[in-house]
Amino acid sequence: MKGFGAGLIVLVAVVLAGCGGDNTTTFVLDSGSPSASASSSAKASPSTNASAAPASSSLPSTAATPIPGSLKVIIDSPDASTAISSPVEVSGTASVDKGTVVGVVLDATGNELGRATATASAAKPDYGHYDLTISFSGAVSGTKGQIKVFGVSPRDGTTPTSYYFISVSFS
């Protein structure tokens, strides 16, 4: 009976040791990309929640991998070396209020040439993937411009928050 009691104590100690502890998840990017989009694979520490779907699951994922650093919005495509024309497909990752993402195309002087709004696959505090199709007009071929993507304030639904931009050229 003594052996049974000692074995039970060891079993309880092992079970309790698995509870609590470090619940943080560490993400590592596979490439030198400044983003961690849903298409890049991330490696999680062993303390990742066991109820998460396995990598081979066919279930769609609504959340994207968090962006390193303090960025809340990033543009994955197009990149700055791409010459764009209307309409331009813009995609990336965002953690913004209500998941509302706004994208604008600006000319070299900051004039807005076009705008589109979409909802990311997840809202703040989670990170979601977004896709925008921005139609624009007034761009002069061969000139420079910008694509700017941002969230909006939940107070008024229009004030830009957490923006990110890239420089582009117009084709």
- For the CA atoms of the chain, what is the radius of gyration? 22
Give tens-digit pLDDT for 26-53. 233 333 334 433 333 333 333 333 333 3
Q: So what's the pLDDT on residue 63?
A: 66
Residue-range definition of the domain harbouring residue 125: 69-170
Q: So what's the pLDDT on residue 103?
A: 97
Give domain status of residue 8, yes or no. Answer: no
The identity of residue 65, as a single letter, is T
List, in order, residues 6 or more apart from 166 with CB less than 8 Å away: 75, 78, 79, 80, 146, 147
Give domain status of residue 52, yes or no. Answer: no
Give domain status of residue 11, yes or no. Answer: no
Give domain status of residue 95, yes or no. Answer: yes
What are the Cα distances from residue 105, in Å, to 10, 76, 81, 110, 114?
64, 15, 16, 9, 5
Residue 111 token pair:
């004039």
Residues 151, 155, 159, CA angle at the centre, nearest 5°?
45
List, in order, residues 6 or more apart from 161 with CB less than 8 Å away: 72, 96, 97, 150, 151, 152, 153
* SS3 category, 16: helix
Q: So what's the pLDDT on residue 164?
A: 94
Q: Residue 62: pLDDT above 50?
A: yes
How many C-beta atoms surround the C-beta of residue 57 within 10 A?
A: 9
Among 92, 146, 143, residue whose Cα is nearest residue 122: 92
Give domain status of residue 36, yes or no. Answer: no
Q: So what's the pLDDT on residue 1?
A: 53
Give domain status of residue 160, yes or no. Answer: yes
Give tens-digit pLDDT for 9-31. 444 443 344 444 333 332 333 33
**Positive/negative CA dihedral, 94, 97, 55, 15:** positive
For the chain, what is the domain count?
1
Q: So what's the pLDDT on residue 157?
A: 81
* SS3 category, 130: strand
Give tens-digit pLDDT for 116-166. 999 999 999 999 999 999 999 999 999 999 999 999 988 888 888 888 999
Which CATH number covers residue 136? 2.60.40.2550
Q: Give the pTM.
A: 0.62
Give domain status of residue 109, yes or no. Answer: yes
Give domain status of residue 18, yes or no. Answer: no
Give tens-digit pLDDT for 78-102. 998 889 999 999 999 999 999 999 9
